[in-house]
Amino acid sequence: MGHLTSRNAYKNLEDRINWFTQGAPAFSGTLYKILQVLYTEKEAKWVSMLPVRPFTAKKAAKIWNTSEAKAEKFLTHLCEKALLVDSFHNGVRKFVMPPPMAGFIEFALMRTRGDIDQKYLSELYYQYMNVEEDFVKELFYATETQLGRVYVREPVLTNENTLHILDYERATHIIEEAEYIGLGLCYCRHKMYHAGHPCEIGAPLDVCLTFGNVARSLAEHGGYARLIDKSEAMDALQRSYDHNLVQIGENVRENPAFICNCCGCCCEALQAARRFSPMQPVATTNYIPEVKEASCVGCGRCEKACPILAISMKEDEHGKKKAVIDTEICLGCGVCAGNCAKKAIEMKRRPIQVITPVNSTHRFVLQAIEKGTLQNLIFDNQAFANHRAMAAVFAAILELPPLKQALASKQFKSIYLDKLISSQLNKNKKKKNV
């Protein structure tokens, strides 16, 4: 009976995780083993009962049928294990379970720790994400709107391109605007080290940047990140440039929660770009490299540096080797341009600009529509959302193109939603007629 109870606790937690728009496939049984390392049976049982959206200790106490003081103590304990993050809104403390990525899977290896077997956990992660394909495909290819996006390497831009780059396209701007900045270990390289596949280029571990409330929560509870100032964050960015790392952040324009500094040999996103080419696992930058053939000497440095193997050396009509870039799969990171001693590679603005969601709510709604799980944002454990959460979701829907709005309405058959969308469409028509 005890074995069955334990199994039910972890299976319920698997179901709870998959209530997210971003889920975690449980087909192989590897996720079950991962959860057993991260959660005790009691933690798995209680977390599986929590709402998807942010909640208070009072709400958790009601769900768990315990006192508010005991609930808050247990919730704080979960924050200390980086299984929850907390925040404060108008003096009220709220909690939320982060998604698998970027979330609790990564947080577990953002510092060295002795309370879990990090080698065993890393081996499970490697099996789940580098051997099996279900999770990676679900993470990067289940929706048209991607989880992450690439930042262009700013130092390689020409003066002309620097004038046209938008603030949200610059990693330096994200650092300058952040209220809190956290520095932690790179989960990918840390995992690969323990799994017996250390980074091939010897990239630094301590360059993982988190921002805002996530950074504060990870730093205050358990030291999964260390709060740093803007100067130290800029230093981490420069060290990443020096090691040919690619900056991949949350795919939003406002207040991204993270910027990872990624190598092609360890990062799941860049590995996916290699394995599933030409499908791109993250949103590209608005730039594309262009080779100036007259200046290219065929040294091959750009080919070696490209993290997704998008560059090859081919002979021209005169028998001289020249760099050729596969623009169909290129992410536009600019690593190649930064490695060209002859300045033969120039970053050009893409002719068709990449659209980036405004914020996390906008991204969640887009992904939910594309995945057919919009109702999970509107309903939570079959309980109707509060008006503030509803308003945020509907506001994001009303900013979408008409086709996406129609899909949203189809997925969530609500008279209220239909009226909101119809009203907005009528307003848009009137504006056009004016």
Please check whether residues 228 and 154 belong to one and the same domain: yes
Domain identity same for 89 and 160: no
> Is residue 141 domain-shared with residue 260, that is, in the same domain?
yes
- Measured CA to CA, the distance from residue 195 to residue 179 in angstroms comes to 35
Please list the residues that pair with 209 across neighbouring strands: 183, 259
112 found inside a domain: no
Let me know if residue 297 belongs to a domain. no
In angstroms, the CA 24 to CA 31 distance is 8
The amino acid at 374: L
Total domains, the chain: 3
CATH code: domain of residue 39: 1.10.10.10
Distance CA 201, CA 266 (A): 10
Alpha-carbon distances, residue 248 vs 269, 270, 277 (angstroms): 9, 10, 18
Give strand ranges (E) for 161-281.
181-184, 208-211, 226-227, 246-250, 258-262
Tokens representing residue 360 in the block: 């996390």
- pLDDT value at position 434? 52
pLDDT in the model for residue 74: 98
Q: Do 59 and 162 share a domain, yes or no?
A: no
Q: Looking at residue 382, what is its pLDDT?
A: 39
What is the pTM assigned to this prediction? 0.86
Q: Is the domain of 260 the same as that of 144?
A: yes
Q: From CA 178, how far away is CA 399, in angstroms rounded?
A: 25
Q: Is there a single domain that holds both residue 161 and residue 87?
A: no
Last residue of a domain, one of 219, 254, 281: 281
Residues 145 and 76 in one domain: no
Q: Are residues 17 and 66 in the same domain?
A: yes
Mean pLDDT by 10 residues, the chain (434 residues): 64 88 87 96 95 91 97 97 93 93 93 94 96 92 92 90 85 96 97 96 96 96 96 97 97 95 96 93 96 93 96 88 95 96 94 89 84 69 48 68 70 56 60 56
Q: Is residue 149 part of a domain?
A: yes
Q: Is residue 189 part of a domain?
A: yes
- Identify whether residues 277 and 393 lie together within a single domain: no
List the domain range (segments joined by +) for residue 92.
2-98
Which of 234, 260, 281 terminates a domain? The answer is 281
Q: Do 76 and 149 fall into the same domain?
A: no
Tell me if 94 is assigned to some domain.
yes
Same-domain check for residues 71 and 153: no
**pLDDT value of residue 2:** 46
In a domain, 205, yes or no: yes
In 292-340, beta strands by DSSP E: 311-315, 321-325
Q: Which two tokens stand for residue 295?
A: 């200046």
Q: Is 224 helix (H, G, I), strand (E, B) or coil?
A: coil
Q: 98, 113, 146: which is the final residue of a domain? A: 98
Q: Would you say residue 129 lies in a domain?
A: no
User: 156 and 260: one domain?
Assistant: yes
Residue 271 lies in a domain: yes
